[in-house]
Amino acid sequence: MKPTVYLPFLGLVALTACNSLYSPSTTPPPPPPNFTTFRAEGDVITVTNNLDAFRAALGGVLNAPNTPPTASGRREINWDGVPAGVTNVDNFPATFFNVNSKRGALLSTPGTGLRVDSTAFGSVTAGLADQFKAFSPQKLFMAVGSNQVEVDFKLAGETTNGLTKGFGVVFSDVDRAGSTRIEYFDANGVRIASIEATAQSGAQSFSFLGAVFDSPIVARVLITSGDAALSATGTDLSAGGTNDLVVMDDFVYGEPQPLPGQGGGPVGQVTVGNIFFRSAHNGSQNPAVDTIAAGGSITWAWNAAGSHSIQSTGVPDIFRNSVVMAGANDTYTVTFRNPGTYSYQCGVHGSAMTGRIVVQ
C-alpha cells in the first residue's frame, strides 16, 4: 500500500519542482533609470530660465565646437553658424555636427532629408513664416518629408559611440499637447524615457523639453516635432489647418562619454571629474578599474576645477594618500611595487567616487 500511496505524491512533488524550475520567472524587471524632466513654454525669458536650469543640471561648462572629448560639460547646437551653402536646402549633411563642426551628434530621419532654414520656413511655403520664430535668431531646423529626427551620440569628432547624461530641445510653435516628444534610448536600444512637450497658450511661441539622468546613459534620442512633416501645402493648426506643425531650434546635451570598456587612453591614467573617477584606458567609472604591472604607476589627473583627493581604503593593501586638490590641471602619481588589489575613494566625496587598482 505504501507504493500506491506515496509514489503519486512523489510524482506530484517532482512535477511541482519541475514547474518551479522551468516556468517563466515572475521577477519584476529592474526599475527604469532616474531622470529629471525640464519643461517650459512661453516667451524667450520664460524658456531661457528653464533652459539655464537644464544646463546647470548637466553640469560643467559649454565645450566649444571642435574641441576634443572631455569628461564633463555640455555641447550645444543653435544652427546659426551653418554655412550658406547648406542652408535653405533639403540635403543638410547628417554628419555636419561631428565632422565639419565637431560636437558628437549624428542626425538622421525616416524622411528624405534634413533642412536648416533662415526664413522661418517661409521658403517652403509663405504661410509658415507667420507661425515660427527663432529662439536664437535666425535659423531653424526640421526634417524633410518627416516629423521625426534621430540623434546618435559619438565622442566629439570621433567614430566611437558615446553616452550623454541629458538632452533637450527648444521647439517653436507647439499648439497641441502630445504632438511633440523626445524618446531616450540606452546603448542596447531600450527606450528608457519618453517625455512630451506641453502646448503653448495665447501668443507664446516657444517650448523647451529635456531630461537629465543621474549618469551618462543615453545613446540616442528620437524627436517627434508636431503631427506632420512640413510641406508646400501644409497649414498649421493655429492658421486653420488640421495638423500641429512644429520646428526646432537649440539642441543642448551633456558631453558624450565613452561606453564602458571603450576608453582607449593610456594605461595608468585616471581622470578625476565631478563627481567620478574614470579609467582613461578602459572607460570604467565609479569604480575606475585599472590593471598595471608591479613597478608601474597610476596618475590621477583633474579635468576641471573641483575639490577631490585620492584616499586609500584597502586593508591591508594601502598606499599613500593625496591632499585635497582643486585645480583643473592638478595631478597625483603613486608607484605600486607590490602585487595586490588596491581600492580607493575621494576623501571629499567618499563612496560616490571610487576606484580599484590591480597590480600584477
Residue position matching grid coordinates 555636419: 96
Residue-wise pLDDT tens digits, 21-63:
333 444 455 677 999 999 999 999 999 999 999 999 999 999 9
- Note down pLDDT in tens along the chain; length 360 residues: 333 333 333 343 344 333 333 334 444 556 779 999 999 999 999 999 999 999 999 999 999 999 988 888 999 999 999 999 999 999 999 999 999 999 999 999 999 999 999 999 999 988 888 889 999 999 999 999 999 999 999 989 988 889 999 999 999 999 999 999 999 999 889 899 999 999 876 545 899 999 999 989 999 999 999 999 999 888 888 788 889 999 999 999 999 988 875 666 788 899 999 899 988 877 888 999 888 888 889 999 998 889 999 999 987 788 999 999 999 889 999 999 888 899 999 999 999 999 999 888
pTM of this prediction?
A: 0.69
Per-residue pLDDT at 171? 96
Residue 136, all three cell numbers = 536664437
Residue type, 326: A
Grid coordinates given for 300? 590621477
Cα–Cα dist 137/122, whole Å: 15
**What confidence score (pLDDT) does residue 209 get?**
98
Q: What pLDDT shows up at residue 25?
A: 43
SS3 sequence of the chain: CHHHHHHHHHHHHHHHHHHHHHCCCCCCCCCCCCEEEEEEEECHHHHHHHHHHHHHHHCCCECCCCCCCCCCCEEEECCCCCCHHHCCCCCCCCCHHHHCCCCCEEEECCCCEEEEECCCCCCCCHHHHHCCCCCCCCCEEEEECCCEEEEEEECCCCCCEEEECEEEEEEECCCCCCCCEEEEECCCCCEEEEEECCCCCCCCCEEEEEEEECCCCECEEEEECECCCCCCCCCEHHHCCCECECEEEEEEEECCEECCCCCCCCCCEEEEECCEEEECCCCCECCEEEEECCCEEEEEEECCCCCECCEECCCCCCCCCCCCECCCCCEEEEEECCCEEEEEEECCCEEEEEEEEEEC
Backbone angles phi, psi at 330, to 5 degrees: -65, 150
Cα dihedral sign, 250-222-33-70: negative
pLDDT of residue 8: 37
pLDDT, tens digit (0-9, with 9 covering 90-100), for 301-325: 998 889 999 999 987 788 999 999 9
243 Cβ contact list (under 8 Å, min separation 6): 226, 227, 228, 234, 235, 236, 237
Q: Which pLDDT belongs to residue 17?
A: 39
